[in-house]
Amino acid sequence: MTANPLSVVVVGDANVDLVLRGDVVPRFGQAEQLAESGDLVLGGSASIAASGVARLGVPTSLVARVGADTFGGFTLDALRGFGVDVSEVEVANDEATGLSVILSTPHDRAILTVPGTIPTLTGERVTDVLDARSPGLVHTASYFLQPGLAAALPAVLARARAHGWTTSLDTNWDPREEWAGLGDVLPHLDLLLPNRNELRAIAVALGESAGLDDVALATRIAGRGPRVVVKDGADGGWSVGADGEVVRAPGVAVDVVDTTGAGDSFDAGYLAAVASGVTDERERVRWASTAGSLSTLGPGGTGRQATREDLEEVLAR
């Protein structure tokens, strides 16, 4: 590993999450339910990933937009507290910061999102930021919540790679379940980081057979450009390239509090490993699986993200 990691620029959503746990399945008819707990925490896949990378000791910046409101101030303060450079986060005076309400059980969750400023980030803005910096890693999150950015992303990533950037994408779930546009993005990616459900949905949308297993589908996607790094829940994660060789690493056995943001922390572990000069693929996936597992020990996506010390302790076992 290098003593001077590459910088990571994360692009995407910045918002707050209200996480409710316990008896969280709504019952209409004005039925009042008593939840076990509620936390207002930093939200947004990009923001959680950026915080996770920064906590692992890697210089990290976020490119996003928030409103000039209470939630926007909360978001910026939280990001700064985790060590993220927010100098490229725009504050919009006439728009509201995004908000997600997360109904969380130990092994699943439902999410209601008010987009606010999330869809307003542009590809031109991202390109301007990348052009002004020395190349490192650029990671984009929440593709389907940002249609304007998504439309520009093939050109943005092509330009970035031409200037020496390593590119990655976590699409997250498509609320419309259409999964459109990714065929144009994949050739410009070095890394794609889906979970298993997203992997299958993306592959089928690209014309692959739903009858193929996960590894076969990931290999087909890898043939279009990126290495595919898959989050596999409690089983950890795995990755595959176009040659079909699979590299796996287990998760860490923990008493789960909340799975919100675990996938984003998985992303953070993998990106931090790449930025830190880890070249062994199994070790990269171990960083990712460990970071994802440890994040479930606290509420929300950033309640218990791994530090570098946490990671080294677990990996040394």
- Here the tokens at position 80 are 């700064």
Which pLDDT score, from 0 to 100, does residue 4 have?
83
Helix (H, G, I), strand (E, B) or coil at 300: coil
* Residue-wise pLDDT tens digits, 45-67: 999 999 999 999 999 999 999 99
DSSP label at 60? E
* Residue-wise pLDDT tens digits, 138-173: 999 999 999 999 999 999 999 999 999 999 999 999
Residue 75 lies in a domain: yes
Are 90 and 65 within 8 A, CB to CB? yes
Percent of the chain with pLDDT over 70: 99
Give me the mean pLDDT over the 61-80 stretch: 98
Which pLDDT score, from 0 to 100, does residue 55 have?
96
Indicate whether this model's pTM tops 0.75. Answer: yes
Give me the mean pLDDT over the 184-191 stretch: 98
Q: Is the pLDDT of residue 107 over 80?
A: no
Q: How many domains does one find in the chain?
A: 1
Which pLDDT score, from 0 to 100, does residue 219 have?
98
pLDDT band for position 105 (50/70/90)? confident
Residue 3 lies in a domain: no
Residue 2 lies in a domain: no
CATH code of the domain in which 160 resides:
3.40.1190.20
Which pLDDT score, from 0 to 100, does residue 50 have?
98
Which pLDDT score, from 0 to 100, does residue 1 have?
60
Q: Is the pLDDT of residue 3 over 70?
A: no
Which pLDDT score, from 0 to 100, does residue 317 have?
81
Domain range spanning residue 197? 8-27+35-315
Residue 1 lies in a domain: no
Residue 216 lies in a domain: yes
Are 280 and 65 within 8 A, CB to CB? no
Which pLDDT score, from 0 to 100, does residue 262 have?
93
Which conformational region is residue 217 in: left (phi greater than 0), alpha (psi within -120 to 50 degrees), or beta? alpha
Q: Is the pLDDT of residue 222 over 90?
A: yes
Element (H, E) at 312: helix 308-315
Nearest C-alpha neighbor of 172 from the set 207, 146, 151, 134: 146
- When the pLDDT of each residue in the chain is averaged and rounded to a whole number, the result is 95
Residue 123 lies in a domain: yes
Q: Is the pLDDT of residue 23 over 90?
A: no
What are the start-end ranges of the E strands in 53-118?
60-67, 89-92, 98-105, 108-114
- Here the tokens at position 116 are 């606010």
* Residue-wise pLDDT tens digits, 286-307: 999 999 999 999 888 898 999 9
Which pLDDT score, from 0 to 100, does residue 13 have?
97
